Structures are given as structure tokens and as C-alpha cells.
Amino acid sequence: MPDRLIERTLRAFSDELSADTPVPGGGSAAAYAGAMGAALAAMVARIASKKESSERMGAFAAEMDGLRVDFLRFVDEDSAAYARVADAMKRPRKTDEEKAARQELMQTALLAASRVPLEVARTARRLLDACERGVESASPMTASDIGVGALMAEAALRGAALNVMVNLASIKDPAQVKALSEDLDRVLEGADEQRRRITDFVESRIAR
């Protein structure tokens, strides 16, 4: 990428996503969704800390800031990883030697492009865990915000998972596919129920 995606305006980033180029794509969008979710959770914690004056909420906000930094880094890392896949696809393949070299580059790039969204998924699950820990401290006025944070975490998690899976589909090494698939399954396990618990609690706080 010529410059960092996260340094662009929201409009410019959305323009990049809408262009007829492979990057940035869904992986970067998923990571940015996670960043927004972490920011919302941090906001809720900081508002709560004004009332509680508790070190606990301050520490929670700092934890969310750390997750947000990670997600923002992944926005660019995901695009860079898939850009290497796209570059490998363009390599010549007229001779057997060229085909072999292209295939080797493709497989290396695809593995890297699988590992980045897997890290996004792990970080998104950490955010979902944090939202569940922090939701009870939200006031009725901010409960919807941490609820949206949880939904953004889920979007990041599911979006990242899709990107892992689409890249694994083209990887030839069965051992690598198995290991990465099992890692992803562990990250996803119980996420649906966890998000539902959070949003059910939020809705109970703001029900009319």
C-alpha cells in the first residue's frame, strides 16, 4: 500500500473499499469494525469511571485502548498480506520453472494471509469477552454503546473467520490447513451464545 489505510479519512477508506482492486477488502473492514467496537467499550468504561472513580474501569478502558491499537494495526497488515497474494498471482507461469516458483510464492503468501485474519479473530474474541465483563458497569444511557461494541466485535470475528477460510481453501499443505482450522474453531466456539448474552442484557437495561 502506498500509505497507511488508517491514516485516511473514513470517506477515503470507504472509497478504497469500493474500488475494483483486491485490497483493501473484507479483512481490513473486519479489523476496522473491531477497532470501532473497542473504542465504544473504552468510552463506556471512561464514562462509568467518572461516577465510580474506580481503578477497575480505568484499567478496563486502557485494555480497550490496547485492543483498538491492535485492530488498527491489523487493518493495514491484512491488506499488505493479501497484496502479496495478489502479486504472486501475477507472476509468469509459461514454463514449469515459472509455474513452480509462482506456486511456492502463492502458498507462502496464502499462509501469511490466513494468519493475519486469525489474529484479528483472536483479538475480536478478546473484545467480546471484555464486553461481557464490562456490560454490567454500563449505565442505561451507555448500555446500547457497549452493545454495539459487542456487535462490532462479532462482525470483526465473523468477518475475519471468513477471510481465514477463503485463504485456507487454496492452501495445499493439509497439516497447515488442519492446524489453522482448529485454531479458528477454538476462537469461534461459544461466540454466538456470548454475543447473545450481552445483547440480551443490554436490551433488558434499555427496554421500554
On the question of pLDDT at 4 being above 90, the answer is no
Would you say residue 31 lies in a domain?
A: yes
Could you tell me if 25 and 82 are in contact, meaning their C-beta atoms sit under 8 angstroms apart?
A: yes
pLDDT digits (tens, 9 = 90+) for 86-95: 999 899 989 9
On the question of pLDDT at 166 being above 90, the answer is yes
DSSP string, 117-162: HHHHHHHHHHHHHHHHHHGGGS-TTTHHHHHHHHHHHHHHHHHHHH
pLDDT at 55: 77
Residue type present at position 107 = Q
Structural domain count of the chain:
1
Query: What letter would DSSP give residue 74?
Result: H
- What is the average pLDDT across 63-83? 94
Would you say residue 10 lies in a domain?
A: no
Q: How many Å apart are CA 48 and CA 54, to the nearest integer?
A: 9
Would you say residue 131 lies in a domain?
A: yes
- The owner of cell 481503578 is 55
Would you say residue 75 lies in a domain?
A: yes
DSSP string, 31-57: HHHHHHHHHHHHHHHHHHHHHH--HHH
Would you say residue 163 lies in a domain?
A: yes
- What is the average pLDDT across 68-92? 93
Single pTM value for the model: 0.91
Would you say residue 145 lies in a domain?
A: yes
pLDDT > 90 in the chain, percent: 73
Q: How many Å apart are CA 40 and CA 44, to the nearest integer?
A: 6
pLDDT at 21: 87
pLDDT tier at 9, thresholds 50, 70, 90: confident
Q: How many Å apart are CA 198 and CA 150, to the nearest integer?
A: 7
On the question of pLDDT at 54 being above 80, the answer is no
pLDDT digits (tens, 9 = 90+) for 100-157: 999 999 999 999 999 999 999 999 999 999 999 999 888 888 999 999 999 999 999 9
87: nearest Cα among 30, 173, 22, 4 = 22
Verify cis geometry, omega within 30 degrees of 0, for the bond prior to 24: yes
pLDDT at 208: 65
CATH of residue 61: 1.20.120.680
pLDDT at 168: 95
- What is the average pLDDT across 158-176? 96
Handedness of CA 171, 174, 178, 180 (dihedral sign): negative
- What is the average pLDDT across 62-80? 95
Domain range enclosing 58: 22-206
Could you tell me if 130 and 41 are in contact, meaning their C-beta atoms sit under 8 angstroms apart?
A: yes
Average pLDDT, the chain: 92
Would you say residue 106 lies in a domain?
A: yes
Would you say residue 8 lies in a domain?
A: no
